[in-house]
């Protein structure tokens, strides 16, 4: 059994450009600065203790447990690098995942999510992308983008 918990947004966690590392075409690579905080470490301990308690109450033989988190990025559900909202001062994307600053830029992935709780975000990403595509087609027909 494994547990999933939400990683809280932290100012120290960021994505930037690493100009020293380039891909095959000479384009600088992304650089991730990311680590779990105290909340995530405490959450792992609580999940392990709660799981053990449930299994023992169900008369399972618990052979081993760990309360250590898997490495950052393991579950690949990290989200929230381009917040969605109405105000360009506090968000990057509008309700159609269109950039406030770059009219023809749509970011249709999990970046618009500020939180995922403990659920897989795939269906939400797909639903938002569908809505964004409908909007984009309408805007293209009007010659707006």
Q: Are 26 and 32 in contact (CB under 8 A)?
A: no
What are the domain boundaries of the chain? 1-74, 79-145
In the predicted structure, residue 28 carries a pLDDT above the cut 80: yes
Name, in order, each residue with C-beta under 8 angstroms of 117's C-beta and a sequence gap of 6 or more.
6
In the predicted structure, residue 75 carries a pLDDT above the cut 80: no
How many alpha carbons fall within 13 Å on the CB side of residue 41? 4
Check residue 72 and give its pLDDT. 81
In the predicted structure, residue 133 carries a pLDDT above the cut 70: yes
pTM of the predicted structure, to 2 decimals: 0.63
Q: Are 51 and 34 in contact (CB under 8 A)?
A: no
């Amino acid at each position: 059994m494994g547990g999933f918990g939400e990683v809280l947004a932290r100012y120290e966690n960021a994505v930037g450009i690493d100009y020293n590392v380039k891909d095959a075409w000479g384009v600088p690579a992304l650089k991730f600065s990311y680590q779990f905080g105290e909340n995530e470490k405490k959450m792992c301990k609580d999940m392990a203790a709660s799981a053990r308690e449930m299994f023992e109450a169900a008369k399972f033989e618990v052979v081993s447990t760990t309360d250590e988190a898997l490495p950052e990025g393991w579950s690949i559900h990290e989200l929230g690098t381009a917040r969605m909202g109405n105000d360009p001062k506090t968000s990057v994307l509008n309700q159609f995942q269109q950039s406030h600053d770059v009219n023809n830029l749509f970011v249709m992935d999990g970046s618009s999510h500020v939180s995922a709780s403990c659920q897989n975000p795939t269906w939400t990403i797909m639903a938002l992308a569908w809505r964004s595509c409908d909007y984009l087609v309408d805007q293209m027909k009007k010659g707006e983008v």
